[in-house]
Amino acid sequence: MTRKKYTSKFKTKVVLEALKELSSVAELAQKYELAPQQINLWKREFLSKAEDVFESKGKTKREAADEEKDQLLKVIGQLKVENDFLNNALR
């Protein structure tokens, strides 16, 4: 027997419906032919990762700034080496 695979879109739909609490988990399980434990598991996963949605934008900007800083430091190092080489060549 193969396991059913559900799309993230389907899981999100079920979880959002469960969070609205218009129907009980048992009713949703029956409606979508799922085990109530499965819905509760998806709900816990969803809620545990909810904070990441708002943090990802800040991290992206921070990561971009770090990459730019690393790139600039690399260029500075290269220019320093070239500058030292030319100073030694003129002596």
Q: Are residues 28 and 60 in the same domain?
A: no
Q: How many domains does the chain have?
A: 2
pLDDT digits (tens, 9 = 90+) for 33-77: 999 999 999 999 999 988 877 775 666 677 888 899 999 999 999
Q: Are residues 32 and 75 in the same domain?
A: no
**Structural domain containing residue 31:** 1-48
| pTM confidence score | 0.59
Q: What local confidence, expressed as pLDDT, does residue 40 receive?
A: 96
Residue found by looking up tokens 């059913």 in the block: 4
Is the pLDDT at 7 greater than 90, yes or no? yes
Higher per-residue pLDDT: 14 or 64 = 14
Q: How far is CA 2 from the centre of its chain?
A: 29
Q: Are residues 3 and 35 in the same domain?
A: yes
Tell me the torsion sign for CA atoms 66, 71, 76, 78: positive
Torsion of CA 62, 63, 68, 73, to 10 degrees: 100
Residue 24 sits at φ, ψ, to 5 deg, of -75, 165
Q: Are residues 68 and 26 in the same domain?
A: no
Average pLDDT for residues 4-10, to the nearest whole number? 93
